[in-house]
Amino acid sequence: MTKLAEVTLKIDGMRCAACVSSIEKGLSQLGGVAGCSVNLATKSASVSYDGSATSEESVIGRLKQLGYSAVAGQPDILTTNRREVLSARELLRISLALTIPLVALAMWPTWAGQQLLPIPFNGWAQALLAAVVLFYCGRSIIADALRQTRHGRANMNSLISMGSLTAFGWSSYLLVDSYLSSTSQPLYFESVGMIITLILLGRYLEARARGRAGDAIRALVDLRPAKATAIIRSVEIEIDAATVQPGMTLLVKPGERLAADGEIVEGHPVIDESMLTGESMPVEKGPSDQVIGGSVNGNRSFKIKVTAAGEESYLAGMVRLVTQAQSRKAPVQKLADRVAGVFVPVVIGVALLTLAAWYWFAPDSPMLIRSVISVLIIACPCALGLATPTAILAGSGRAAREGIIIRGGDILENISHLNAVIFDKTGTLTHGELEVVEVVAMDNSSSRELIRMAGSAERQTDHPLGKAIVRYMETEQIEAAPVTNVQVRPGFGMQAIYRGGRLLIGNKALLKTERIDISDKTDVAADEMSQGRTVVFVALDGNLIGLISLGDRLRGDAAKVVAELRKSMDRVAMLSGDNYRTVAGVARSIGLEYYEAEVKPDQKQEVIESYQKAGFRLGMVGDGINDAPALAAADVGIAIGGGTDVAIEAADVVMVRSNLGDIIKMFELARQSMRVIKQNLFWAFFYNVLAIPLAAGLFYPLFGWTLSPMVAAAAMAFSSVFVVTNSLRLNRLPLD
């Protein structure tokens, strides 16, 4: 099977959901294209294709045939949005400056009972002002409509252009006819000015609001410092941060942002990583610890050796992830795209039908032209195209600020549909590191003396259990004692000479081999093991003098997170490669009813698939290292605990910080995001359904209800603003 190539394109010329539908349909008809996803909010398309059948150039060429320009590359949401805001603001200012006197000229007789200008000049002045507004301020709208017409398509700009040109053309005809016949007839030039001005106002407000949805990316980009201090041949030199390369040594001064990722080679700083990881408290670091570019140094200078910089840095990776996430659409958007694909032609048909009906039944009615214009303007499907992508922009951006990287709108929707969660144990529900949790001294020994014996002997080995005991001894500030003749006994433990006596440290099998009676302590050991702990026995000169219980410490919020998930999920479970007794003990301590033990890494995927076959839509939470196959197999793979390269590649969601509580935040954010998307789609659909009959004048003969072109333009423009503003509520969603 041929491997598919993928390309992301930045597209110029997209205006509404109808454009999205046209592009996707047009590209799917190109031979070799396997899939295409177009995003209106980011003005981009992701295309997968068979490289042996077509090429990137052919895809771009096809877009040009469809009337759009495109270049390869990730969408620069910030730059594009800034350009759109500036352009929309300038055109709005000019349009507004011309429309105010235009409306005054048209409305002055109504307000004052007389003409502002003499009759021969009033209409011509209106026509001139309306022409500048329409053909200068609205030139991009008309140009795009003409381009769409040349390619046999129609979009939002087609409807606006048809409505405004109809009003301008009909008014121009009436103006000339009035001049020739010396009569006065109603003109619609002010409607043209108001339509274009309100459309531009809507686009300006929409662009500003959409820019706020990209705040997550902007916040990450702003973390990059402009300068850095490099140490070259023992000399401190200030350099441009963009020139930092791996292998360089940097001096980070108090209060400075780190210019690159690196490893501390000198110093013990306290670093604020909150903007990158969401961790509220500064973190103490020391030599050999890793640091992340963009984080803020506390009050101590330190030196790092750069391990990654520029586009290879952790910060750049997060920016790419968030950008890619905001470019991927949710499946729910497909419905909107399909509707938009046929909506514009249907609206044009309705407008023609409206014209025919009024011409047939009431040719002298002012509704003849006004209703057609109103239908064309009110039905623009802009809100429909923005309903989903703006919510994804805001939702994924909000998640990123919490240190939760959701890799696309489709993932966001999948999360909201999950009904089961399965956790890996080691490194996920636990810290993945053994520690001493209980010391039981016997035979007149003290717990400190017991740790001194065991720790002093274990210092001479590299066994994980021994390291945990040594760490505990150092933490408790217990001085080591002389221990000699240390001998490791594989599978059992070790032996040594302590103060002339024979010291044994190991499992139950070791003591049984040495014929040391532990029958009266079996219950104590069994109780510790039932809690998922490992028990180390310590004997001196043939007598048991104590037990040391070690366990993989549970994360402090594990039980709380499990309890919360059980309220909303049909199944919450755990799987682990540890022995059954240990896993059962952990499950009991955090309130888990379902668990799988002694599962090898290559078997985890099979467990996931068995749950899926049983009808569960499953989220898998793992540490992203040996859980990669299981993360990829789950409906949603969630990597927690550091965001390693493997996690980023295999998981759908990356939890930057090791905080299980972020899983609850993720589910809440996904549910709220889908709720906002549905609200947006409901508004966009039913707004058109209710407004079109009113605009067409269906209720005018009976009740006198109608919709003027100006009101239609305002309603259409602000429907888009409403959708974007509704999406932005996600930025303020409380997740704590």
Give the pLDDT of residue 249.
92
Smallest CA-to-CA distance from 79 within 37, 36, 44 is with 44
Q: Which amino acid is at 690?
A: L
Task: For residue 429, give both structure tokens.
Answer: 């529900």
Is pLDDT at 54 greater than 80 in this prediction?
yes
Query: Pairing between strand 594-596 and 430-441?
Result: unpaired
Task: For residue 84, give both structure tokens.
Answer: 């759109």
Bridge partner residues of 38 (DSSP):
45
Confidence class for position 643, pLDDT limits 50, 70, 90:
very low
Give the pLDDT of residue 570.
93
84 or 116: which carries more pLDDT confidence? 84
Is pLDDT at 466 greater than 90 in this prediction?
no
Enumerate the domain spans of the chain: 4-75, 78-213, 227-308, 406-429+555-662, 431-553
Question: Any idea which residues carry the catalytic annotation?
Answer: 424
Give the pLDDT of residue 362.
84
591 or 82: which carries more pLDDT confidence? 591
Tens-place pLDDT, residues 511-535: 888 888 877 777 778 777 777 677 8
Give the pLDDT of residue 632.
75
Does the domain at 406-429+555-662 match CATH 3.90.1580.10? Answer given as no
Is pLDDT at 89 greater than 70 in this prediction?
yes
Query: Pairing between strand 501-506 and 534-540?
Result: antiparallel
Tens-place pLDDT, residues 140-160: 888 888 877 777 776 667 767
Backbone angles phi, psi at 79, to 5 degrees: -65, -45
Domain 4-75 architecture = 2-Layer Sandwich (3.30)
Give the pLDDT of residue 278.
45
Say whether 431-553 and 4-75 share the same fold: no
pLDDT, mean over the chain: 79
**Dihedral sign from CA coordinates of 443, 448, 449, 452:** positive
| Token pair 């409901």: residue | 682
Average pLDDT over residues 620-627: 72
Query: Pairing between strand 571-575 and 420-424?
Result: parallel
**Dihedral sign from CA coordinates of 530, 536, 539, 540:** negative
Give the pLDDT of residue 280.
43
Taking CA atoms, 467 is separated from 25, 50, 250, 434, 447, in Å, by: 62, 54, 33, 9, 18
Tens-place pLDDT, residues 14-45: 766 567 777 888 888 888 888 887 877 677 88
**Dihedral sign from CA coordinates of 78, 79, 80, 84:** positive
List all residues 6 or more positions away from 149 whose beta carbon is below 8 Å from its beta carbon.
158
Is pLDDT at 388 greater than 80 in this prediction?
no
- CATH number for the segment(s) 431-553: 3.40.1110.10
List all residues 6 or more positions away from 605 whose beta carbon is below 8 Å from its beta carbon.
629, 630, 632, 633
Share of the chain above pLDDT 70, in %: 82
Element (H, E) at 176: helix 156-181
Give the pLDDT of residue 293.
85
Tens-place pLDDT, residues 267-296: 888 887 755 554 445 677 888 888 888 888
Alpha-carbon distance of 650 to 631, in angstroms, equals 6
Alpha-carbon distance of 216 to 557, in angstroms, equals 27
Task: Sort 113 into a burial class: Cβ within 10 Å, 0-12 / 13-18 / 19+.
Answer: exposed
Which of the residue ranges 115-119, 121-125, 163-167, 304-308 would you say has the lowest mean pLDDT? Answer: 115-119
Share of the chain above pLDDT 90, in %: 10
Give the pLDDT of residue 133.
93
39 Cα distance to chain centroid: 14
Average pLDDT over residues 674-702: 81
Is pLDDT at 502 greater than 50 in this prediction?
yes
Give the pLDDT of residue 642.
53
CATH domain 227-308 topology: 2.70.150
Give the pLDDT of residue 567.
92
Bridge partner residues of 482 (DSSP):
none
Give the pLDDT of residue 584.
83
Average pLDDT over residues 490-508: 85
User: Is there a contact between 524 and 533 (Cβ–Cβ < 8 Å)?
Assistant: no
Tens-place pLDDT, residues 226-265: 888 999 888 888 888 888 889 999 999 888 888 888 999 9
Average pLDDT over residues 714-725: 74
Give the pLDDT of residue 385.
64
Which of the residue ranges 142-151, 280-289, 446-455, 722-731 would you say has the lowest mean pLDDT? Answer: 280-289
